[in-house]
Amino acid sequence: MRVAIIGTGYVGLTTGVCLAFMGHTVSCLDSDEAKIKALREGKIPIYEPFLEEVFHEALPQLNFTSSYSEAIPEAEVVFIAVGTPPTPSGAPNLEYLSQAAKSIGQHITRDFVVVVNKSTVPIGSGNWVDSLLREAIAGRTDKSGTLGFAVASNPEFLREGSALHDSLYPDRIVIGADEPRALEVLYSLYRPIVDQTFTPPNYLPRPETVGAVPLLSTDLASAELIKYAANAFLALKISFINEIGLVAERVGANIGEVGRGIGLDSRIGPRFLSAGIGWGGSCFGKDTAALIATAGEYGLHLPIVEAAKKINSRQRDRVVEKLLNELKILKGRTVGLLGLAFKPNTDDLREAPAIEIAQKLIDRGVRVKAHDPIAMEKFEQSYGKMGVVLCQSAEQVVEDCDAVVLVTEWNDYRDLDWEALAKKMRSALILDGRHTLDKDKLMRAGMRYVSIS
């Protein structure tokens, strides 16, 4: 099939590359011309494991452009995958979505096109995009024949850091539309993934447990709500274990063991039960805020989701409290941060805990040093003026530090030579923000080990 993807960020580029890998002909469109230029030159603007490999295999099926008149007329399916960043009220900024919908409407030429919201958008956005498309089509002078379309919702559940794996072997695909023909088109599009009939790349083999992928087709509003509800649930699972962590700390229980103990219950499941400094990233904060804002429009309060957000923000304060507790005075101290990206295997810094923690420490007169295996260049571009001293290695970070905080659980940090590092520090204190380091090993290496539980 012929597909256009509007927005070539983490979601749009991954989707485009995977659909092209399935044999579809895909035009990836972005208003950022520098991004398109880079992609045309074969340069991937984001760090995502295996994206480059799949990109190169799928290249004959891919086209990159900034021109709607080039991407839209031939497309049978148009995905909107533009950003929907938060506004101060919590409601997402839908400006990019609106621009994309209008531009699509100005360039549709086929008699039936499925326009798919893949961006995470508030409930009701499907209807809104439908009306924007109609308006744009009505305003055209070049109408010929019937310009038909249907709007669908296809929420994205990929996780940055394993986006390619998640797109090729998803837990489920959700498609929502009020028009049955749109659901049929999307089913055909996703068929190789649903039936798992494609030949897997040898660097991303199909897990033995993966069979046919459940495809859930719903009405528009349900698909839109599924996305918000899924993210809110994952966010509150993390906040739940962090709340239990507070109790664990007081009563002398081990939160790691508590998390494992409850996660072995198949009704609960083991994932998202690691206590620590809480979630970050471009989705959980934004999507929980958007869900609360949408509920507010209907006069509803969502106390559970609100509490999850509050607990998450408290976890960042707890980093400062813990350091204060151990070091007594923060002013004039040097603290090293290991990890800047919001999670391992990505260079994404949106709502990264490291940024909030660094700012809180700087505000208290702390000199902050940091290292990240991948995200330092992006950090320098966006947060270069914050005053964080970037270091080329973990060894450089710890030098003369009064404490070091493990912020992002990159594998690289698990097997450091902690004995050598302890000797370089002014005081050998480690605050494990992710419950990921081997406490006994660190203590044997001469480190004072503290964690956020």
Ligand X SMILES: NC(=O)c1ccc[n+]([C@@H]2O[C@H](COP(=O)([O-])OP(=O)(O)OC[C@H]3O[C@@H](n4cnc5c(N)ncnc54)[C@H](O)[C@@H]3O)[C@@H](O)[C@H]2O)c1
Q: How many helices (H) and strands (E) does the chain have?
A: 17, 14
| Window of 23-31, 291-299, 402-410, 439-447 that interacts with ligand X by CB under 6 A | 23-31
Sign of the Cα pseudo-torsion (84, 85, 87, 88, in order): positive
Total residues at interface with ligand X (CB under 6 A):
26
The least CB distance from residue 226 to ligand X, in Å, is 12
* Cβ proximity of 263 and 273 under 8 Å: yes
Sign of the Cα pseudo-torsion (88, 377, 372, 328, in order): negative
77-80 β-sheet, strand order: 62-65, 25-29, 2-6, 77-80, 113-117, 149-153, 173-177, 215-218
User: Which of 82, 151 has the CB closer to ligand X?
Assistant: 82
Q: Give, to the nearest 10 degrees, the angle between helix 51-58 and helix 10-21.
A: 50
The least CB distance from residue 102 to ligand X, in Å, is 9
| Per CB under 6 A, 31 contacts ligand X | yes
User: Residues 258-287: x/- map of binding to ligand X (CB under 6 A)?
Assistant: ------------------------xx----
Say whether 28 is catalytic: no
Task: Give me 203's structure tokens.
Answer: 């660097």
| Per CB under 6 A, 341 contacts ligand X | no
Among 65, 119, 315, 436, binds ligand X (CB under 6 A): 119
- φ and ψ at residue 439, rounded to 5 degrees: -55, -45
| Per CB under 6 A, 312 contacts ligand X | no
Q: In the bound complex, which residue of the shown chain has the CB atom lying closest to ligand X?
A: 9
| Per CB under 6 A, 239 contacts ligand X | no
Q: Which of residues 145-184 bind ligand X (CB under 6 A)?
A: 156, 158, 160
| Per CB under 6 A, 132 contacts ligand X | no
| Window of 9-17, 208-216, 239-247, 389-397 that interacts with ligand X by CB under 6 A | 9-17
| Per CB under 6 A, 99 contacts ligand X | yes
User: Which of 27, 451 has the CB closer to ligand X?
Assistant: 27
First to last CA, the chain: 50
Which residue reads 């469109």 in tokens? 29
Q: Which of residues 63-92 bind ligand X (CB under 6 A)?
A: 81-84
C-alpha span between 173 and 388 (Å, rounded):
41
Among 8, 27, 312, 436, binds ligand X (CB under 6 A): 8
Among 19, 29, 311, 337, binds ligand X (CB under 6 A): 29
C-alpha span between 54 and 49 (Å, rounded):
10
Neighbours of 262 (CB within 10 A): 16
Neighbours of 290 (CB within 10 A): 25
Kind of pairing, strands 173-177 and 149-153? antiparallel
User: Which of 32, 135 has the CB closer to ligand X?
Assistant: 32
Question: Of 18, 28, 283, 391, which residue is the catalytic one?
Answer: 283
The residues annotated as belonging to the active site are: 283
* Interacting residues with ligand X (CB under 6 A): 6-12, 29-32, 35, 81-84, 96, 99-100, 119-120, 156, 158, 160, 282-283
